[in-house]
Amino acid sequence: MNKIKIAIQKSGRLNVDSLQILKDCGISIDNGKDQLKASSRNFPLEVFYLRNGDIPQYLRDGVVDIAIIGENVLIEKGNDISIVEKLGFSKCKVSLAIPKSANYNSVKDFQGKRIATSYPNTVDNYLSSKGVKADLHIITGSVEIAPNIGLADAICDIVSSGSTLFKNNLKEVEVMLTSEAVLAVSPKISPESTLLLDKLHFRIKSVLLARK
Ligand code: PRP
Ligand code: MG
C-alpha cells in the first residue's frame, strides 16, 4: 500500500508540536528513540526526522511528499515550494539585532556592516530592497554570540521569546519577517500520495478549527 512520506524536524522547537498535531489528527506514530524513520499504525504515513535546513531540498527532489517546517526556512531556502496550510504554532520573527549599547537610526545603519546569520538570502533580499549592502558572515548556530566575540557588528536570527537576544546584550532593531510552522508539499508528489495528503489536510483543518 502507498504511504505518504512526511518530513518533520529531527530535534528542536518544531519537533514536539509537529508530532502533537499529527497525534491530534488521530495518527499514532511508533516512535523508537533515535530512529530517523517511523511509521504510523493507523494511517498510511511514514515520518522522516530530518534537519530543518535540509527539508526544502528533500521536498524539491521528491524524497519526501510533504513536510512540517518553519515558513522562515522555506523563505530562505525553498521559495519554490508550495504551502498547503499555515499551522499556527512555532511563531517567530526573523530579525536584525545589534548590541544594546549601539545607536540605531535606520536600516541604512547596516551599510557596510558585518552581519552574522544563518539566513543570508533573507537578509540579502531585505537589505537590497532598502538599497543597503552589508557584509554577511554565514554561521549555522549560536549566531547571537558573534558581536560579543568581535566577529560581527550585528546579527540576523530567529526571535521567539527574545531571551537569547537579551542574554547576549543585543536589541532587535528590524523585524524582517514573521513566521510559523506550515505544511508544505513536494512539487513531485504522486497522484496516490495527493489523495492521502487531501485526507490528512482535511483532518488538520478540523484540528486547527477546534484549537481556535
Ligand atoms: C533559536 C534561534 C535563536 C533562538 C531564539 O536558536 O537561532 O537563537 O532560538 O529564541 P528565543 O527568542 O526564544 O530566545 P536555538 O536555540 O534553536 O539553537 P541554534 O541557534 O543553535 O540552532
Ligand atoms: Mg540560536
CATH number at residue 142: 3.40.190.10
Q: Assign 30 a pLDDT band (cuts: 50, 70, 90).
A: confident
ipTM of the modeled complex: 0.95
Q: What is the pLDDT of residues 52-94, one digit of tens each?
A: 999 999 999 999 999 999 999 999 999 999 999 999 999 999 9
Is the domain of 47 the same as that of 64?
yes
> Which tens digit of pLDDT belongs to each residue from 85-121?
999 999 999 999 999 999 999 999 999 999 999 999 9
Q: Kindly give, in sequence order, each residue whose CB lies less than 8 Å from that of residue 120, ignoring residues fewer than 6 positions away.
A: 76, 136, 138
Range of the domain at 52: 4-90+180-211
Kindly state whether residues 82 and 9 are assigned to the same domain. yes
- Indicate whether 124 and 61 sit together in one domain: no
Nearest ligand to the CA atom of 160: 1
Mean pLDDT computed over every residue of the chain: 96
pLDDT at 34: 72
Closest ligand 1 atom number to CA of residue 118? 7
Q: Domain check: are 144 and 77 in the same one?
A: no
* Pocket (CB within 6 angstroms of ligand 1): 12-13, 141-142, 144, 157-164
137 Ramachandran zone, left/alpha/beta (phi>0; psi -120 to 50) = beta
Say if CB 144 and CB 159 are below 8 A apart.
no
pLDDT in tens, 141-182: 999 999 999 999 999 999 999 999 999 999 999 999 999 999
- Residues 84 and 120 grouped into a single domain: no
104 and 166 housed in the same domain: yes
> Do both 57 and 102 map to the same domain?
no
Counted domains in the chain: 2
- Going from the Cα of 39 to the center of ligand 1, the distance in angstroms, rounded, reads 29
In the numeric block, the cell 477546534 is attached to 210
Q: Which three cell numbers stand for residue 99?
A: 548590541
Strand partners, 97: 155, 172
